[in-house]
Structure 1
Amino acid sequence: MTTVICLHAAVAQKSYGSEKRFLCPPPVVHIEGPVWHMRNQQLSMAVVSETGERSFEQKSTLDNNMTSSFKFLHVTGTAKAKSFQLSLDIAEPHPSTASNPEADGPPGRVWASFDSAPVTIISKPSKKTAKTRNISSCILAGGPVSLFNRINSQTVRTKYMTIDHAQLCASNVAWSAFNVNVVRRPNEVPNIGPQPVTYGCEIVLSDTQSGISTSPLTIRKVDKGRVSIEDGGPVSQMQKIALQRINPDGSRHYLSAAGPIPGSTGVVPAPGMSSQAGTHPLIFQSPRVRDEVKDGMHIISDEVDDYLCWTIIGISKFQYTFFDSSGKNSNIPELPITPFPTLFTAPVYRQVNNTVELTVSNFFYEDPKTRTQVPLDVFLGNLGPLPHRVYQASPPGPLTSISPYLTPGMDGASADSPTSPSSPAGAPRFMPPGPVHTIVVVEMPPITDVIKALEDDALPLNADRPDNADGADGRNGSGPPPPSINGRSLPLLFIRSIDGVGYHSGRTIACENVFHTLDLNGQPPHAGGNIDTGWLTAAHEGGLQNLPGWTLRVM
């Protein structure tokens, strides 16, 4: 399967007048898996306003790590704009630029378009402590963040915290997302729902990709170049912080983005550290300690320069997985693979009739020959296509507020208009008018077929299945699950039959035995008296045709 992953900031500052406040950190796209000649594809990203207008489109290419960055995107607009979206297009190179992908030229055929969730626009970072009730503006414990350092507020002097060669580094060319794990709070809080990170917390930053973690650090608020020790409120988006380390002798050091100091110990770059220009290991440095007398009391405070201050911002991600069901992965599809079929809610399994109910958007695609709407096929792993019934949802009512997100000029376009699939204006960029989603009731395969598929999936490649392993022996309701299927599940897939393009729904289905963990000897006595519970033991030992012990579970 091929997965397109984009990491980007959860909030962005608006640019006013002629200024350009670039999105920071810059959105990064990474592609994993079979890549369908992806290295030669043209990537472009644009900012899409709430009215669907695209602006500030930037092109980029994939590097040797199949990663691309978009460093010059910024947001403008009216004062009423509250959010925007990022839109990523992947296009084939135009014949005129095939020999030089980085050359400017006409765009090629766009065959995939991926959109982010709305990104919140802020005018400037809050200098006041956030209120806990406004949790959307807070940094949440356990969530991913990016930290960057900027000298004198100059964009060209920005360094990002990253991991390079298994070391915590500062870099002006790459950044990493870190999970903020709180290990100690100054005040205990109830463990109910998402909790914001508060100043004074002891945290560990863990790289989301490698898992490399920092030592415990205390997060402190910085105000006018001084570290505030007493502030214990929630940490807000894009606030300046300092990461403090208390030494055994009681002295305080702060994580610094300053470059290695010649002649100092402990800051010599590891072999190979020069692989990225402008990347160096992070060090700890002492602040300037200021002792003042105020109202007859000695007050000791730490003064920190810009290179000891970090701006913290939450990170969002959008991710799409697709594949060639034929297994060839040899050609770019003739039809665009987007919009993606997306589940609105978690699938619901109905054990009585062995069906799964799905609420899906973009479940139909247009056949280029007949110009008719064709539903996708549904597979469970390699089982399928599965029989299914489709029910179109009613259009939204008059009191429902849904923004259609149409591109300019698409108003009133009919669903069967004869537009070319390769034309950029051939389909709405966002949610088309009409029914928002489709309800699909899928008939699941027999339980024995699911167990057999799980066991086959557990076999090593090129291994032969035993002749007597038909998946049905002893599987009609008795016994524990075979060890080979423990912890395994089958993906729920959508496949476009016309060309074999497949989509992962993001959900999998496992098979489990409802009697396996049931303690029959520990059944409590029934309050009604002489109730025969022997049927339960019989079902467990031999299985009943009308009471199967196996069931499916949506993961």
Structure 2
Amino acid sequence: MEMKSDFFCPPPCVYLSGDGWKNDFEQDNLCTMIGIGEPLYHNDNGSPSANITQSSEMQHLPFESGKRFGAAKTLFISDSDKRKHINLNIKMMYTNDFRDNPYIGMFESRKIKVISKPSKKKQSVKNAESVCIQSGSKIALFNRLRSQNVSTRFLHVNEGKNDFEASSSEWGSFCIHLVDNEEPCTESNSFSVKEGFVQYGSTVKLVCSVTNQTLPQLVIRKVDKNRVLLDSDEPVSQLHKCAFEFKSGPASPSSLVYLCLTGERIIGIAGKPCPNERFRVDINDSACWTIISTDKAEYTWFEGRGPVTHPITPVPVARHIVVDGGGAAATIELTGENFAPGLSVWFGETESPCTDYRSTQTIVAEVPQFSSVMPNMPWVQRPISTPISLVRRDGIVYLTSLVFTYTPQPAPPRKASSSPETILPATSENNFCE
């Protein structure tokens, strides 16, 4: 995130999704605060660290009228704060009197790298890791006419109209993919991607991370003082000014068209070749975009037994799954953060026979037999995937992004008295539940 005059750009946003918020949101029963701080849950027991942002340092986060999102447009970082990385902390609570505990919890963002200005150093692939843009990563694009903060507009996809727009209130997160320069230019959403760092002169596709809407193939170009540098091929860096040239086959500087905004509309505008400089094209302010990486922290939960008396946070997050063993001895190891004693692992609607808490980063669970997960299917006839969830003792269900897959096996002989079950080839025996 950029900080211009100490303010964040694009502004941090909070989105609420799911029907569980409907009544509270419509009745204005939610209060949300945001502040800058350190990571909240450092300790091995999952308890908050001593560096939690205090409520006195936090500011109210208003939600847009009629919408379930709020942007922290006035959030800033002090000039005296020399940290290279920060976290944003979100405090949420109910404002009605119908709950025993109105405090929902304190949620934290991913780690944010503080970048106050673009690097003037010419980048190379060797030093690109920390500041340059990788293919497949997520970015935001904003335009600032005449360098005035009040004129800032963000590239965004309007879900209602299903179209790209330049928004002053909401910004979009886009996956930027490298595309082979020789790939035919088509309007299809199907395309082959390449790995590596994005360099100027590369062909890219921008895909909205929410709607999957795409723009046509574009060539990303470096911009210096409203002048496109057609011969630049250095890696694209954070906060660089760039232009996006529509790719429609062979072109000359006199026929180049660039992604541009006019009001809230996104259009194409022709560049103006420089008379005495072959590889330079002049463009309007409205076709100059600033590029910056983005990220998100997503938390999903469900109050399975109704309202609870304890905060939802810290939310356990499982990021990776490793399968060990096979048959009746199969287990999975989940690694992540904010695990706590008392959590149980569920495979779809079936609870693991035994969940073993190892640390705040590791949980091991026994894989239930396939017949208990799918009682109407006597054996695994095709790959069957079940979502992995973590359930707290008071009934809070935390959905993860992980799945476990039961693999197929041949049908058992008719005379068999029981149906054998193969989950995965055994690599070791691990009977940790007694």
TM-score (norm 1): 0.63
Residue identity over aligned pairs, in percent, reads: 26
Counterpart in the other structure of 1:283: 267
1:300 to 1:361, Cα distance in 2 relative to 1, 3 A: closer
Distance 1:220-1:193 versus aligned 2 partners, 3 A rule: closer
1:115 Cα deviation (Å)?
0.8
Please give the per-residue CA displacement for 1:382-424, whole angstroms capped at 9, x wherever unaligned.
2126323344x5xxxxxxxxxxxxxxxxxxxxxxxxxxxxxxx
Q: 1:449·1:471 contact (CA, 8 Å) conserved in 2?
A: no
* Offset of residue 222 of structure 1: 0.5
Counterpart Cα distance in 2 of 1:235 and 1:186 = 20
Residue 337 of structure 1 is matched in structure 2 by 312
Q: Residues 517-536 of structure 1 correspond to what in structure 2 (within 5 A)?
A: none
Q: Does 1:496 align with 2:392?
A: yes
1:12 is matched by which residue type in structure 2? Answer: E
C-alpha distance in structure 2 between counterparts of 1:247 and 1:384, whole Å: 55
Deviations 1:303-333 (A, max 9, x none): 223212000111101111101224xx6x4x3
Find the aligned partners of 2:313 and 2:303 in 1 and give their Cα distance. 14
Are residues 1:136 and 2:126 paired?
Answer: no
Q: Is the 8 A contact 1:222 1:309 kept in 2?
A: yes
Structure 1 52/381 Cα, relative in aligned 2: closer, same or farther at 3 Å?
Answer: same
User: How far did residue 207 of structure 1 move?
Assistant: 1.6
CA contact (8 A) 1:129 1:236 kept: no
How much has 1:90 moved relative to structure 2?
1.2
- Residue aligned with 2:371, SS: helix
| Corresponding residue for residue 186 of structure 2 | none
Change (3 A) 1:112 1:49: closer
The aligned counterpart of 2:214 is 213
CA apart distance, 1:497:
2.4
Query: For 2:299, what is the secondary structure of its paired residue?
Result: strand
Q: SS at the partner of 2:8?
A: coil
Question: Do structure 1's residue 177 and structure 2's residue 173 form an aligned pair?
Answer: yes
Shift of 1:122: 1.9
CA–CA distance in 1 between the matches of 2:288 and 2:267?
Answer: 13
- Are 2:427 and 1:550 aligned? no
Match of 2:258 among 254, 257, 272: 254
Larger radius of gyration: 1
Aligned pairs (5 A) from 1:106-121 = 109-121=102-114
Q: What is the distance in 1 between the residues matched to 2:339 and 2:385?
A: 23
Query: Where does 1:414-453 land on structure 2 (aligned, <5 Å)?
Result: 437=360, 439-452=362-375
CA distance in 1, matches of 2:415, 2:314: 45
User: Offset at 1:235?
Assistant: 0.5
* Whole-Å separation in 1 of the counterparts to 2:265 and 2:279: 30
Q: Is 1:125 the counterpart of 2:118 in the alignment?
A: yes
For the Cα contact (< 8 Å) 2:138–2:176, is it kept in 1?
yes
Residue 12 of structure 1 pairs with residue 2 of structure 2: yes
The Cα shift of 1:181 comes to 2.4
The one-letter code sitting in structure 1 at the alignment partner of 2:109 is S
Change (3 A) 1:493 1:53: closer
In 2 relative to 1, CA 542–240 (structure 1 residues): closer, same or farther, beyond 3 Å?
farther
Shift of 1:503: 1.0
Confirm or deny: 8 A CA contact 1:41 1:93 kept in the other structure: yes
Where in structure 2 are the equivalents of 1:55-134 lying within 5 Å?
55=57, 57-61=59-63, 63-76=65-78, 78=80, 80-93=82-95, 109-133=102-126, 134=128
Separation (CA, whole Å) in 2 of partners of 1:443 and 1:42 = 40
Normalised by the length of structure 2, the TM-score is 0.79
How is 1:296-445 mapped onto 2 (pairs within 5 angstroms)? 299=278, 301-326=280-305, 331=307, 333-343=308-318, 345-351=320-326, 353-359=329-335, 361-364=337-340, 375-384=342-351, 386-391=353-358, 393=359, 437=360, 439-445=362-368
What amino acid is aligned across from residue 27 of structure 1 in structure 2? P
Q: Amino acid of the residue matched to residue 81 of structure 1?
A: R
Deviation sequence 1:115-150 (CA, Å, 0-9, x none)? 112100123112343222332311111222111100
Change (3 A) 1:378 1:215: closer
CA contact (8 A) 1:167 1:281 kept: no
Which deviations, in whole Å up to 9, do the C-alpha atoms of 1:257-312 show, x marking residues without a partner? 233xxxxxxxxxxxxxxxxxxxx2212222332212xxxxx636212232120001
Q: Measure the CA separation in 2 of the matches of 1:471 and 1:42.
A: 47
Change (3 A) 1:507 1:247: closer
2:105 is paired with a residue whose SS is: strand
User: Where does residue 471 of structure 1 map in the other structure?
Assistant: 377
Quote the RMSD (CA, aligned, Å): 3.3
Q: Any idea what SS the aligned residue of 1:136 has? A: coil
The secondary structure found in structure 1 opposite 2:281 is strand
**Residues paired across the two proteins, number:** 391
Structure 1 residues 192 and 243: CA distance shift in structure 2, 3 A: closer
How is 1:219-238 mapped onto 2 (pairs within 5 angstroms)? 219-238=220-239
Residue 136 of structure 2 contacts residue 175 of structure 2 at CA under 8 Å; is this kept in 1? yes
Query: Contact 1:45/1:59 (CA < 8 Å) preserved in 2?
Result: yes
Contact 1:178 1:208 in 2 (8 A): yes
Q: Which amino acid aligns with 1:337?
A: I
Q: Distance in 2 between matches of 1:471 and 1:247?
A: 53
**C-alpha deviations, 1:330-377, integer Å up to 9, x for none?**
x4x32101001233642433226122233464433xxxxxxxxx6123
Q: Report deviation, 1:239.
A: 0.4
SS of 1:317 mapped into structure 2: coil
User: Residue 161 in 1 paired to residue 182 in 2?
Assistant: no
